[in-house]
Structure 1
Amino acid sequence: MMRLPLFHRAATATATAAANPRALARPNRGLPLMLLLPFMLLAIFVGMVGGLDSPPLIAIVGTAVLSVLMLFVLPLHGMFWCLFVLTFLLQGSAVYFLKLRPSAWLAFGLAILFFCRALLDLVVHKREQRRMRKGDGSTVEIAALLFVAAFAVSLVFNRVPKSQIFSAAKAMLPMFSVLFALYWFRWKENHLEASWRMMFWVVLIQVPVVLYQHFFVATATSFDSIVGTFGGTPGFGGNSAIMVLFTVLAMGYAAARWNAGQMSGKAMWAFQAVGFAIILLGEVKAAFIWLPLVLAWVLRRRILRSIAAFIGFAVLLAAFIGTTYTVYETLYWGKKVQSAHNVAEKLDRGGGYFFDPNNVNYRTGEVSRAASLALWANDPLATVPRRLVGYGPGASKPSGLLGAGEVAKRYQPLHLDATALGILLWDVGLLGALAYGSMLLFSLLAAWRYVRRKQGSVAQLALADTCVAAMLLFLMMLVYNRALMDEPTAQLLLMMCMGTIVQLCRFSASQR
């Protein structure tokens, strides 16, 4: 049986080298002859597509072909870095600037290939995995498997059409491959840290992009047009919340590294200033809570060390809130908030409508966060089985391969998918929602216990501290918007955080 040289066991290679030292000096003769035929066919296919003279089609097909080649050429962590760059920089930019909406599929497709590569590595190294220690990370993986099981049960129970199965599975499941890979394989500490340090570069790249979007794209009537490279439609909404969430977590990680002595003070404060600028331009109200919460957690020991430090942090926090509110009111809220007649109306227009369970607009279809849950709770056709397993993945989706889902049609024109929790309740029921929520909660508890026991190195503790704050934010995201259910940027960020937690819990060098 022919084997691919790229997947040979390290132990086999070591034994061969010991038996024959000259084997190390032998040059690699290239890919097996068996792989030449599919590679030639791929080359012919790309050439045929190039003859169609369609640049967008060539870009999509070329990227897909390169992604397949990565499966055989790159190591697992290298594939993750490609997935990271594609998801946070390329696919969103293609959607926003080139109007290539199918570009989001590239991130999901590469995540599936990443899963295939992880499975190949798992088969090759299965003996090593038997010796791996079980710990807090196992509860996270069990909750993730329970969610996938609930997803499958809902599909079977509701007899979901094949096209809807494909669409729903594509939207929810591929990024779980990152959690799988970080759970089963020990990653080198420098590879894991490098993955997180890449966040700094992504944030820096956002600066010229958001400046361009602010001055040349956004208008007084546009909605969430400043999204950086995270995707969206100019003037009609985008992933500004995920861009700001990503920036806040990167700022928290920079502060955690500085607190651990892994980053200079000048670099840390310069990065905080860059992140602050992105938050000001992004106009995301949740930033008033997100950034103070993250920084207060990662710097808690330094803040509580003395009264002066506590007062200093309080002053900086007040300056952040005051400046951000002033900029938001001047640039975005001005006329909308100032036209209110009283304080209650101003609060409602400034964001209080999120919590109004009766805020439903039958003309535009918009519903508030609270209303999206109230509609599910008051569903007149709900039965006990429907409450438990939902109406099937994709049921709340207003559009898809076969049009709107079952309950989305019933409630048209309302957008039932306003929040991730609302989607979970409609699509996979209470069981699926509880499994998904447990996955986030167990990740939070595992990271918190890791920090409390002071396991691992100072660099690993900085990662764990950041992940504790991240999981708190992701729990909030369940009722903030729908991004966790179908946006590759939000899903990859979540799985990266959860995967880091299980990686630290299972493979930390220091256990106490």
Structure 2
Amino acid sequence: MKLNSLVLLGWFIAAIFAGSVEYATGLNQLFWIPYFLGLLLVFLSYARPNFRASFATIKVQENRQGAEKFIGFLLVLWMLVGLFSSIASMNPLLQILVASKSYFFMWGLTLAMLLRRWSDVATHRLWSAVVVVAVLQWPAVLYQRLVVVPRRSDFAAWDAIVGTFGGSPDGGGNSAAMAMVACIATAVVVIRWKGKQLSTKSACLLGLLSLAPGFIAEVKMIFVWIAGLLIVAFVFHARSRPLKALATSLLVVPLLLGIGIAYKSIFYDAGGTNSWEQIYDQQIKYAIDSDEFSDEHQRLGRTAALAFWWMQNQNSDPLNLFFGYGLGASRSASSVAQGEVAKRYPFEIDSSSASRLLWDTGVIGAGLFLVILGSSAWAAMSLAKRQHLTLVGKQSVMLSGIVFLLTLLSFTYNRDSTDTPAIQLLMAVSLGMILNAAKRPARVGA
């Protein structure tokens, strides 16, 4: 089976099949399949007869790279920090194995893309599959909005609308992951429209169908993601086309404000929340208040989780401060291996990738991961300006940069970059595309 077919299989399992099964039955074990696919591809790549030649080619080509070659080095270093932390903390073997699945296995896709054949055709198909998944959210989203939400005792859509990305009808789920994919799919449509691969009518229709489910799910972070994308687009085009960049910004900013006002009218005024001050207290203060704690969900606010980590570790053993307590130590919810540190507290301490990595891998591990996200986004945007890439190659690295930009903006918002297979698969494949583009011109072929 070809690499691109395996990646597409993993993508549809992670974004459609596994989440739908979890939502209907409560079984979430199918989410393991994409992770083990990444691990399997590592072994298959090493088992290839021409592995030595492929690896030697990568080493020769890496010598011609610029700063992009350090991303792979940082990724390996981050993995070593995590393993060192686990060994130093003498964590249970099962805890290490389960956490390694979430942290490491998916990156096998990146290695496989460097060692095996990955073409422009494969790239085009993958980003098309992202749009397909975004559009396919409509049946699930409409069912959840019209049937599930009214059944909820709180009659709220907070995390109730998750599409096919997994969750519980009576609780939360991966609504943010669905919204992030909606943003990425919209970016795919816009970039292909700019490349004259889509007509204006088709682009408008696909863009609306892709992005709307994120708004229906009431994911407020979608405004931050869109703003981040607009800022990057402005910077990217400011030098070459300053007037066009400025004109676009002047048009888009009022549009976003209009969407925000309409959003308030539809989702908040109808529910009795009439003022912006009330919206701030209910939706924004939770994220930025360092003392916020939810009694209902037994969970710290996002900033509160970081403040709590600092309070517990500022005077602790320097080894734990800088290297953490080992892989999976903060995992609050697990059917097989709850974290050793998480067991100490009656509430969740891993509300975001930032808080999870600080507990598990310390300041050094969390810092390395943050640098990997940022440097990958920067490298992608720099590569998109190079002339040796094909149109599909340039579009690919731009979209890869967008994936890392959105995960960077979400670092303190949720755990998707360290715990949601659909987002992690896009991250791993995006890094493979970036490193491939940095090594050599994009290859054309099936």
When the two structures are superposed, what TM-score results if normalisation uses the length of structure 2? 0.89
Distance in 2 between the 1:192 and 1:242 partners?
21
SS of equivalent residue, structure 1 residue 209: helix
Q: What is the letter of the counterpart of residue 94 of structure 1?
A: V
Distance in 2 between the 1:104 and 1:125 partners?
29
Partner of 1:318: 254
Q: Do the aligned partners of 1:225 and 1:240 also contact (CA within 8 Å) in 2?
A: yes
Distance change in 2, residues 1:332/1:239 (3 Å): farther
Distance change in 2, residues 1:293/1:101 (3 Å): same
Distance change in 2, residues 1:156/1:458 (3 Å): same
Distance in 2 between the 1:333 and 1:503 partners?
49
Distance change in 2, residues 1:96/1:328 (3 Å): farther
Distance in 2 between the 1:115 and 1:336 partners?
53
Distance in 1 between the 2:142 and 2:343 partners?
40
Partner of 1:126: 52
Residue 143 in structure 1 maps to residue 74 in structure 2: yes
Distance in 1 between the 2:244 and 2:411 partners?
36
Partner of 2:384: 451
Name which of structure 1's ranges 271-280 and 225-234 shifts more when overlaid on structure 2: 271-280
Offset of residue 305 of structure 1: 4.4
SS of equivalent residue, structure 1 residue 350: helix
Partner of 1:53: none
Residue 327 in structure 1 maps to residue 254 in structure 2: no
Structure 1 segment 251-266 matched on structure 2, within 5 A: 251-266=186-201
Tell which has more relative contact order, 1 or 2 (C-alpha 8 A, sep 6+). 2
The gaps in structure 1 that reach 5 residues or longer are: 1-73
Q: Deviations over 1:236-278 (max 9, x none)?
A: 1111111110110111121112212232222211111112321
Partner of 2:281: 348
* 1:374 aligned to which of 287, 307, 319: 307
Q: What is the letter of the counterpart of residue 262 of structure 1?
A: Q
Q: Do the aligned partners of 2:86 and 2:327 also contact (CA within 8 Å) in 1?
A: yes
Offset of residue 333 of structure 1: 6.9
Name which of structure 1's ranges 106-115 and 269-278 shifts more when overlaid on structure 2: 106-115
Distance in 2 between the 1:349 and 1:399 partners?
25
Structure 1 segment 301-450 matched on structure 2, within 5 A: 301=237, 305=241, 310-311=246-247, 313-331=249-267, 334-335=270-271, 337-338=273-274, 344-361=277-294, 364-379=297-312, 382-400=316-334, 404-410=338-344, 412-450=345-383
Q: What is the letter of the counterpart of residue 126 of structure 1?
A: R
Distance change in 2, residues 1:302/1:218 (3 Å): farther
Distance change in 2, residues 1:363/1:245 (3 Å): closer
Q: Do the aligned partners of 1:118 and 1:181 also contact (CA within 8 Å) in 2?
A: yes
Distance in 2 between the 1:333 and 1:366 partners?
27
Partner of 1:279: 214
Partner of 2:43: 116
Partner of 1:45: none
SS of equivalent residue, structure 2 residue 187: helix
Distance in 2 between the 1:210 and 1:362 partners?
28
Distance in 1 between the 2:333 and 2:190 partners?
42
Offset of residue 432 of structure 1: 1.4
Q: Deviations over 1:60-87 (max 9, x none)?
A: xxxxxxxxxxxxxx12222111111111
Q: Do the aligned partners of 2:119 and 2:442 also contact (CA within 8 Å) in 1?
A: no
Structure 1 segment 14-413 matched on structure 2, within 5 A: 74-121=1-48, 124-132=50-58, 133-134=61-62, 135=65, 136-219=67-150, 220-295=155-230, 297-298=232-233, 301=237, 305=241, 310-311=246-247, 313-331=249-267, 334-335=270-271, 337-338=273-274, 344-361=277-294, 364-379=297-312, 382-400=316-334, 404-410=338-344, 412-413=345-346
Q: Deviations over 1:202-221 (max 9, x none)?
A: 11211222112211222323
Distance in 1 between the 2:239 and 2:143 partners?
37
Partner of 1:501: 434
Offset of residue 498 of structure 1: 1.8
Distance change in 2, residues 1:497/1:131 (3 Å): closer
Offset of residue 425 of structure 1: 0.6
Distance in 2 between the 1:333 and 1:359 partners?
25
Distance in 1 between the 2:442 and 2:39 partners?
30
Q: Do the aligned partners of 2:120 and 2:442 also contact (CA within 8 Å) in 1?
A: no
Distance in 2 between the 1:333 and 1:109 partners?
46
Q: Deviations over 1:94-125 (max 9, x none)?
A: 1112322222222323332233222223x533
Q: Do the aligned partners of 2:94 and 2:337 also contact (CA within 8 Å) in 1?
A: no
Offset of residue 88 of structure 1: 1.2
Distance in 1 between the 2:336 and 2:269 partners?
38
When the two structures are superposed, what TM-score results if normalisation uses the length of structure 1? 0.78
Q: Do the aligned partners of 2:85 and 2:361 also contact (CA within 8 Å) in 1?
A: yes
Distance change in 2, residues 1:437/1:297 (3 Å): closer
Q: What is the letter of the counterpart of residue 154 of structure 1?
A: S
Offset of residue 401 of structure 1: 5.2
After TM superposition, the runs of 4+ consecutive aligned structure 1 residues lying more than 6 A away are none
Q: Deviations over 1:291-327 (max 9, x none)?
A: 2432554576499847577445533442344234423
How many residues align? The count is 432
SS of equivalent residue, structure 1 residue 287: helix
Name which of structure 1's ranges 217-226 and 207-216 shifts more when overlaid on structure 2: 217-226
Distance change in 2, residues 1:161/1:465 (3 Å): same
